[in-house]
Structures are given as C-alpha cells and as structure tokens.
C-alpha cells in the first residue's frame, strides 16, 4: 500500500490527504520518524488538518519524543478548537494529559515547559 501511495507523490493527487495517508501507513508499519515526516508535510499543505496534528503527536510519542509529541498535541488542540472539531480536540487532550503525567512522573528535568 505504501508503494502505491508513494507513486502518487508529485502528481495531480498529491496533497495533504495523500501525505496524511502515507503518514498513517508508515505509523501502522512502525516507521514512526517517516510517519512524522509525512504528517508534517500534510500540515505544511494544510495547517488546519486536525487529524494530521493527531497523527503527528502519535508518531512522535511512539518514536519516544514526548516533548515534541506534547507540543504537536497542544498545537493540534488549538487548531481543532478553532475549527470546532470537538472530538479531535478531546482526543488530543487525553493524549497530551497522558504525556504530561508520564513526564511529571519521570522527574522535573523531563517536565513539559509551558508555552510562552
């Protein structure tokens, strides 16, 4: 499936949805860094794509990048709330809280920093 989707890159069907689909496929295959790159590509094309923010957060979390995942979820929550996408905002809030709790349990040096 990934190969078929990658053949569409650079063509008329290339866009945020294709990049999101590739991110999801790589996420499901366990290629977290590659998935994050495709989710970032989707967001570069459509920064208001709530599902891509959620996918990016998950890919980063699964790659062991808790701080980056938390930042992605926070941005995604803001985007989803602005769009009225309440379900996505709720889901990302749950995931962000899990990361915050895990970071807090890991100690003060791992605690998330509040955005300024």
SS3 state at 24:
helix
Q: What is the pLDDT of residue 92?
A: 98
pTM here is 0.87
CA–CA gap between residue 112 and residue 102 (Å, rounded): 10
Q: Where are the domains of the chain?
A: 2-106
Domain spanning 2-106: which superfamily?
Tetratricopeptide repeat domain (1.25.40.10)
Q: What is the pLDDT of residue 116?
A: 39
Residues of the chain with pLDDT under 70: 108-116
CA–CA gap between residue 39 and residue 21 (Å, rounded): 9
Q: What is the pLDDT of residue 26?
A: 97
105-116 per-position pLDDT tens digit: 987 655 555 443
Burial call 35-64: b when 16+ CB within 10 Å, e when fewer? bbbbbbbbbebeeebbbbbbbbbbbbbbbe
Reference 53, options 72, 28, 35; nearest CA is 72
């Amino acid at each position: 499936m990934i190969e078929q989707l990658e053949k569409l890159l650079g063509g008329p069907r290339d866009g945020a949805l294709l990049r999101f689909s590739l991110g999801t496929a790589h996420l499901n295959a366990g290629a977290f860094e590659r998935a994050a790159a495709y989710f970032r590509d989707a967001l570069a094309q459509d920064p208001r794509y709530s599902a891509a923010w959620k996918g990016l957060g998950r890919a980063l979390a699964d790659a062991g990048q808790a701080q980056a995942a938390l930042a992605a979820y926070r941005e995604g929550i803001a985007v989803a709330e602005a769009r009225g996408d309440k379900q996505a905002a709720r889901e990302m809030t749950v995931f962000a809280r899990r990361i915050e709790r895990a970071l807090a349990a890991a100690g003060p040096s791992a605690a998330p920093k509040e955005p300024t």
